[in-house]
A = this chain, B = another copy of it.
Amino acid sequence: MRKRLAMYHQIALRAAEAGQSQISSGPLAALLHVDDSLVRKDMARAGIPGLQKVGYPLTEVLRRLEELLGLDERNDAILIGCGHLGAAILGYAGFSTYGLKITAAFDIDYAKVGQEIAGHRVLPMEKCRSILDIFRVRIAILTVPATAAQPLTDWLVGRGIRGIWNFAPATLTVPPGVVVRHENLAIGLARLIHGLKDATDRGPVGVPDDATRSGGAEGGRRREATARARRAAKS
C-alpha cells in the first residue's frame, strides 16, 4: 500500500507538471496495473475526497500524500565516511524532495578533512560529538567500512541518533527504539538479474516488483556456486 501511495504521488506530480488539475482513478489504476476500485479505496483510506465526474484534485492528492508519506517533514542528518559512496550521497540531488538535509559530513581520514564535497565541508570525527549535542540530529548515514559500522553505531545511538541508514555491508544490532535501514546495493542488482531471468523463463509475464519487465534476453553463464556453499557449510 505504501508503495502504491508513493507511486500515486509521483504520477500526480508529473500530471501537475503537465498542467492537469485533477486525476481520476482509471488512469492511475492503469499505470499501476491494478483495479480502479482499489485506487478509489486507497484514496478513501488516505482521506482524499474525489469529485464525481472529474476525479481527484491534484493539489489535494499531493498535499495529503506528502503528509502521509512524511515528505512534508524536515529531517536533518549527518553523514559519516566521505569515500566515493559518501561523496555520491552528499551530491545526490533527490533528497531535498524528501526534506532531508545533510547538516554535516565527517571522516576520520585527515586527508579528507577540510575538503569540500558538493558544498559540504568534511569535518573531523572529533567534531561529531559536539555537533550532535548542539543540533540534536536524529538520523545518521553510514558510508564507512564494514568493520567500523557496529562500534560507530553504538556510539551514535549513545549520542541520540535514532535512525541509521547503513550502507556498510554489515548487519547492525541496535537497542529498541532505534530504526536501522540497511541499504544493500547488491539486492537491487539481484532483482534486476532476476527480472532478466524471469523475462527469459516466462516471456513477457508478471511485473517483477519494481522493475519494468518484458520479453527476450538470455540468462547468464553458470558458476560453481555450489562449491562455495559447501565450503561455507563446512568451515
Contact = CB atoms under 8 A, between A and B. Distances in A.
Tell me the interface secondary structure of chain A in the complex: mixed
Interface in A187-235: 187-197, 199, 204, 208-226, 229-230, 232-235
Contact of A217 (B97, B179, B214): B179
A133 interface: no
A151 interface: no
A96 to B, nearest CB: 9
Interface in A106-124: none
B6 A196 contact: no
Contacts of A208: 179
A216 B162 contact: yes
- The number of times this chain is found in the oligomer is 2
Contacts of A218: 138
A87 to B, nearest CB: 4
A225 to B, nearest CB: 4
A176 B217 CA distance: 11
Interface in A86-117: 87-89, 91-95, 97-100
A55 interface: no
A193 B16 CA distance: 25
A37 interface: no
B63 A229 contact: yes
Contacts of A226: 63, 66, 72
Interface in A36-78: 58-59, 62-63, 66-67, 69-76
Contacts of A95: 185-186, 189
Interface of A: 2, 6, 13, 16-17, 19, 21, 58-59, 62-63, 66-67, 69-76, 83-85, 87-89, 91-95, 97-100, 138-139, 162-165, 169, 172, 174-197, 199, 204, 208-226, 229-230, 232-235
5 contacts: A58-B233, A66-B229, A97-B186, A179-B211, A181-B195
